[in-house]
Structure 1
């Protein structure tokens, strides 16, 4: 086969792939809509995915809501792709002619798709997609306000207010709904009654097993994501430094005849090391530990050591420059993971919240005291000083004592203020007994 025929074949395959883009996008959106319908049928008896339709725990409902958002996102992306590509290429399931209307292609929901003609399949898929998306499309508050402004009918105004209340109730979380609801009896008694009802429910065992599986899935996803957040950036830093950044830096430093020392502190360390070597060598000669040699031999030994120190610090300088670029790549990789897997981030956050708020009051107080003493305690300045000096050496920056002392004088104070504000603003509302235990342990 000649090169021209290969190019024609490749062009034909690409053209065929592009022309099938509307069909492919519509099929993927339809499959996502079927997944949502299956989710509704299996867990909510055919009703929309909502905390009112099913009796699930908070963690279980969050997992189901996560799947719903994933499928809705797929539908939105694929339908946008379908609309954009359909304006260029006509969908093949309808034929070469224009799209027929639903009246000319009657829909038959009782028949499987493989027994319906092309146009009917097309409209059947669109009908299911529109039905699913309309279920979860919240009414716009602006549209409600404009409708209320234009309408003077009291019944229409009542409908608008009802829709607005429905919208606000939908946006409200289960915890907020519980806290905002009022009752004659205390909520603890109502929760006890609900728990007894759940225990007497014939499907209670199935519900417990389902909740356990959902919790197990959440734990697995959270732990796996934590390992990914640790391993992938470190691996990216190591591979980029050794195989990408290092050859470029070494070549550029050799071509430009770069300085051996990146800063004055490295030069002082090298001179101090050479001076120590010379003094130690002369001392060993004087005490007879080393055979007596002439001054010229001593100078030659010192010169050889100077070349070794120069090569060592040249490599340190190159490593510091490489660390800067490799660390930037690692940070970008870490940020890319966080932005690309928002669902896993939400799962990890829910997992951490469940662990923290599930601890006893004494355990919460112990963890708070441990972290505050480590980062803002009496001995924390020494730890911050070691960390800043190590970071400076890692990046090849001079360890400025003034900057370190200024950082130690300001950052732990800010961090301590944030800790106290978090305790006052959030922990005092969520777990007052933990705050009381913390105060007693801290006194």
Structure 2
């Protein structure tokens, strides 16, 4: 059963306020501008302005067309519903009214500029607003939103309850029979599926290939060479650093003292000095063999890690298209989270890496890195690193929140500040 055509035409007017429609058009225009800046060097999204493959460019083209449809539909909805719902608006102070008006005009200009640019490209007129001028306009709008934070009509109480409006909108989408809508859903699903598959495959390659390179080079190439030069010969350098030597001496001394202690308590029969010396000598050989293995393992780790870094670099260099798709996938995933989830992840990350208890974690990490590469532990370096590096990370976090997140998702920043307090 379908709603009458005339009723369905009025459903969008009731389901969203004019300012909500304009905000959707503005966000879609910003998404197109973001794709231009990130992947096409602030140029229109065309094949001639990129070096991507047909598959990757087709994905970008689908994203732009989808956002252009969102901009066009919501601009039309804004212009039609604003006059229809004017009686539902409340009276506002004069200064608040002009702030809202200026913001609406700026958002309209940005959305209409994007529409005009790609309409001219479609008609063969390669005219585009200078990127710097448009970027300045976007920056001015973001600054206005951060400074004034005006209350738009979408924030006010409407005549109809919002839950009822959302229900009407959902019913409209479910009962309206449109081949274009179905094709768009299928097209978006295929694009999202391909993007997810490419991103997951690329992430697995980034993880598995360096690990396999490390294990293969270490066990089958480096280990035989290292054992040939360090095990079969009577090498004079047994320990790779002084910490290994001190640990070996302490372990041997502890073993000898344990034997004498057990002998005094009668836990084992009395031994002559020759027997005691023979046991100590046998234990010394075991300790020497163990620390020889640790020294060889450290050398093997250094060379194998270098090979892994080279393999990782080659993958990154040869996979620029996959990196672009992965970045888009991560952006969509992160920005798809709720504001509370974003704030929770930010707080969790900052507390782990730069929080009150983070120095203990950094100390453990530095000790494990030293053991992995066979380096002597340097307490002074550890203290200096712990005193400076978390501070640098904290500064980067705050700058990212102020410079980037505050422009993309100001509500997430507000939620983060409230949760942090």
Higher relative contact order (CA 8 A, sep 6+): 2
Call closer, same or farther: CA 1:230–1:208 in 2, change over 3 Å: same
Equivalent residue, structure 2, for 1:410? 388
Structure 2 unaligned runs (5+)?
1-28, 40-44, 56-123, 143-151, 155-165
* Offset of residue 258 of structure 1: 5.1
> What is the aligned partner in structure 1 of residue 356 from structure 2?
378
Return the TM-score normalized by structure 2.
Answer: 0.61
1:204 matched to which residue of 2?
181
Candidates 412, 419, 424, aligned match of 2:397: 419
Query: Could you list the runs of 5+ residues in structure 1 that have no partner in the other structure?
Result: 1-54, 74-161, 181-185
Separation of aligned partners in 1, 2:218 and 2:46:
41
The yes-or-no answer on 1:166 pairing with 2:128 is yes
Length-normalised TM-score, structure 1: 0.58
Pairing 1:215-226 to 2, within 5 Å after superposition: 215-226=192-203
Residue 228 of structure 1 is matched in structure 2 by 205
Give the whole-Å Cα distance in 2 for the aligned partners of 1:359 and 1:276: 56
Native 8 Å contact 1:60 1:214 kept in 2? no
Output the CA distance in 1 between the equivalents of 2:220 and 2:392. Answer: 40
Q: CA deviation at 1:250?
A: 2.0
Q: Which stretch of the first structure deviates more once superposed, 409-418 or 257-266?
A: 257-266
Q: Who is 2:221 aligned against?
A: 244
The 2-side partners of 1:258 and 1:165 are apart by 75
Of 242-251 and 318-327, more deviation after overlay is shown by 242-251
1:437 is aligned to 2:415: yes
Report the CA distance between 1:187 and its aligned residue.
12
Measured on the aligned residues, the alpha-carbon RMSD in Å equals: 3.9
Equivalent position SS for 1:424: helix
- Say if 1:66 and 1:343, in contact at 8 Å, map to a contact too: no
Between Structure 1 and Structure 2, whose CA radius of gyration is higher?
A: 1
**SS at 1:203 equivalent:** helix
1:319-398 to structure 2, matched below 5 A, reads 319-398=297-376
Shift of 1:382: 0.5
CA–CA distance in structure 2, aligned partners of residues 72 and 365 of structure 1: 37
Structure 2 CA distance for aligned equivalents of residues 246 and 402 of structure 1: 33
Moved more, 406-415 or 292-301: 292-301
SS at 1:293 equivalent: coil
Aligned partners of 1:60 and 1:211 also within 8 Å: no
C-alpha displacement at 1:69, in angstroms? 3.8
* 1:432 CA drift (Å): 1.1
What SS does the corresponding residue of 2:179 show, helix, strand or coil? coil
Q: Number of residue pairs matched? A: 289
The question of 1:302 aligning with 2:280 is answered: yes
Does 1:213 find its partner at 2:187? no
Tell me by how many angstroms 1:281 deviates.
1.4
SS of the counterpart of 1:166?
A: coil
What pairs with 1:103-182 in structure 2 (closer than 5 Å)? 165-166=127-128, 168=130
**Offset of residue 251 of structure 1:** 2.2
Matched, 1:263 2:241: yes
- Deviation string 1:406-443 (CA, Å, 9 cap, x unpaired) is 00000000000000000111111111111111111111
State the distance in 1 between where 2:290 and 2:372 align: 15
